[in-house]
């Protein structure tokens, strides 16, 4: 038996920017996940303040084993310019509690850690150090958006962000559409919320009219929706996207 603790990948809710009082956490996450979270005394996260808010929601369902102010909550190093992952030397220190035998939680701001979110380098460092990694069941907005799109769920790619500069953006969109047509592969992308409308405009300008385009906004919010339609229909009847709620974009070219 190893005396090491595990790294628990704790899913967060997707109710980002939901108005009013947050729902009870067991409405949005499985009780098993909340119970595990209530026992963890060491956390790595993107943002300590929002992690404390999450832990208060945990406490309201499953009382924390230790008081909030006694917990160790450490932020991931900020990614450097260009989005490269932090140095592995920084990550070793974050894993110290697990090496000392304590289970360690990794939490992102929404959805699953390490998926379209920081944390993958920490997970890789954990594997390299012989620390058991456990992904607790929770929702990913990318996976939900794909399911809601009605597009090919047997072959899909998440490609992250496309370039912001107009020429590079249109070239990238056309290249992804060519891959989608050749392989029958659904392409998924995201954008910073305030650029949602600009990305939609670029997709409508550069994709072929028969290509299917789906946009999922505010998944798991009451105000959320998924529209999945041909590019030509989108052009005829545009939808205005909110600038303050994350959206996931998916498209599949007609073969």
Binding residues for its own copies, rule: CB under 8 A, are 9, 11, 13-14, 23-24, 26-32, 83, 112-117, 119-127, 132-140, 142-160, 185, 212, 214, 216, 219-220, 224-229
Q: With CA atoms as reference, report the closest residue to 185 among 154, 226, 164.
A: 154
CA atoms within 13 A on the CB side of 4: 16
Nearer to its own copies, 68 or 210 (CB): 210
| Least distance from its own copies to the Cβ atom of residue 123, Å | 3
- Cβ pair 188, 212 in contact under 8 A: no
Nearer to its own copies, 73 or 145 (CB): 145
Query: For its own copies, which is the closer residue by CB, 49 or 87?
Result: 87
Residue 145 Cβ, how far from its own copies at the closest point, in Å?
7
Helix (H) or strand (E) holding 42, with range, is strand 42-45
Query: Please, what is the minimum distance in Å from the beta carbon of residue 148 to its own copies?
Result: 4
Phi, psi of 66 (to 5 degrees): -125, 155
Q: Which is nearer to its own copies, 198 or 221 (CB)?
A: 221
Whether residue 239 contacts residue 227, with contact meaning beta carbons closer than 8 Å, is answered with yes
CB of 160 to its own copies, least distance (A): 5
CB-based contacts of 158, cutoff 8 Å, min separation 6: 116, 142, 188, 189
Nearer to its own copies, 49 or 79 (CB): 79
Q: How far apart are the first and last CA of the chain?
A: 53
Shortest reach from residue 190's CB to its own copies, in Å: 10
Distance set, CA 20 to CA 15, 17, 23 (Å): 11, 9, 9
């Amino acid at each position: 038996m190893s005396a090491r603790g595990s790294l628990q990948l704790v899913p967060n809710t997707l109710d980002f920017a939901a108005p009013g009082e947050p729902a009870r956490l067991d409405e949005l996450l499985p009780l098993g996940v909340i119970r595990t979270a209530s026992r963890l005394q060491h956390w790595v996260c993107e943002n300590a303040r929002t992690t404390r808010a999450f832990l208060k929601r945990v406490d309201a369902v499953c009382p924390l084993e230790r008081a909030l102010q006694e917990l160790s909550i450490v932020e991931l190093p900020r990614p450097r310019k260009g989005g490269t992952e932090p140095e592995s030397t920084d990550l070793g220190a974050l894993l110290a509690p697990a090496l000392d035998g304590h289970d360690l939680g990794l939490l992102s701001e929404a959805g699953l850690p390490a998926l379209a979110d920081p944390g993958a380098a920490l997970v890789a460092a954990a594997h390299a150090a012989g620390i058991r990694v456990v992904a607790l069941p929770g929702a990913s907005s990318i996976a939900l958006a794909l399911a809601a799109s009605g597009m090919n769920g047997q072959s899909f790619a998440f490609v992250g962000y496309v370039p912001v500069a107009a020429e590079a953006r249109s070239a990238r969109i056309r290249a992804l559409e060519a891959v989608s047509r050749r392989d029958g592969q659904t392409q998924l992308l995201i954008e910073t919320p305030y650029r949602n409308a600009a990305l939609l405009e670029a997709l409508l300008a550069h994709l072929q009219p028969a290509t299917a385009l789906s946009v999922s906004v505010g998944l798991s919010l009451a105000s959320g929706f998924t529209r999945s339609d041909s590019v030509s229909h989108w052009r005829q009847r545009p939808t205005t996207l909110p600038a303050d709620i994350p959206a996931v974009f998916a498209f599949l070219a007609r073969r």
